[in-house]
Structure 1
């Protein structure tokens, strides 16, 4: 579990992170979202002990990162795919890390296979790697110590669509086995596909925190009836405002149960009754961060 409590970071008069608090529970993927300069990377660096906070703190499994014994066995971190030594091969990079962590070297080959770096790629110097290959190596490095927590900043950068789908499967599988994932990414559709919870940050502050379903709900109800005029009259009479759509359907901010009860009482046959489609994560993201920018 990751617990962030009132994290704040100031650089002189500038506040980069302002009283940020949230939790990431085992068995979940938490999408950590925000526009460039919102404070995501600074927050993640403070969680990992790389940047000292001005105020507040963060723990992983109840312990500050810097106090973890052999932290790679507890937390897998990928904050910068270009941070690997360019003169080492991919296999050498993992083998050295395995030696430092006290991990069986046999795990090196297993992880190279998992992340899709074949024998030829494993023998290449990291300086010859594409960004996508560095991301794959970085994820292998993060998983090497068999941690229970992953902290990943933009891990899908440089990956092609097949690689992004693969990354999503790896992270979903990790969480489904009880792991905790904190994932920062600008690829909102991919985050929406894999995340259980969302934390949105704007201007250094948390502007939304909750389950994906909670935050993306609220689009109201869509209903179609055999007698649309009769249903519209019944809903309006019951004090349920409706909007007529171009295809004859009605939308309302009331929930599906309330709409269904009105229709039943009026003897109206329904052809469709479901939550209305919202704009998804992209619309939510733009709405929330626009509000914070306007402050």
Structure 2
């Protein structure tokens, strides 16, 4: 039988400008981008007169593993965690710019998958990848900067929570942490593929960020480092104590089953697991919240985060501690 060989084209084969042209050709541009890839810089509309800006760095082996996640997954995740930061300010995302470092032998099919992941995640919010840069590196490195527009609204910061406010969450909690634990145990894809996918591709509740601003949220944060830790940022910035009722935390059956499989506590995943990119916000007590938001606690006088009558200290992700 005759064997057919397929020759993979690599980044080194195309060169820097060939790769840039290939990436740009796969990315649609939405109306907020006046000038996209191909020039020295992009031009993005700022109809509000203010621009929300955030940036993240993702390193292979630290934030993702290519044996666990496809290129498409990595693109979705890299875009999602930056877009979530924009909506956590109550803004609408408009554009991303991406810096990409990768080995020269990276297959162009892999680059295509990464590009498609970025493009499809951005399309969920009507944002564009407006430009970026590439370079050769030993590992895959992604530097992502996201831009957003406030639409005339005041930004929702971490510093506005007041005693008497209710604390509510929108989106999934603990799923990404459970997925990571399952992947580390080699139990993810066969038994709990949905949780493995939650680690690979978060699902931020994008519409809830600007929606919370309209509802009058007094403070808000993206849950990237763990619920307790990110609530701690709100408590510190606002000069208040946040009291969480553990009985109110959402623990779906899937999470409970995975925890039983591994002998772990699902409540700990919900409280300290990061990378779900849910939103947590404080609202005035008289606000009627839509179904996407679940009240989990309240704001009181004092400091720190209190769960089960205990003030939390080391809870959540820290790049230079864990």
Higher helix share: 1
Taking structure 1 as the reference length, the TM-score comes to 0.22
Who wins on radius of gyration, i.e. which is larger? 1
Taking structure 2 as the reference length, the TM-score comes to 0.21
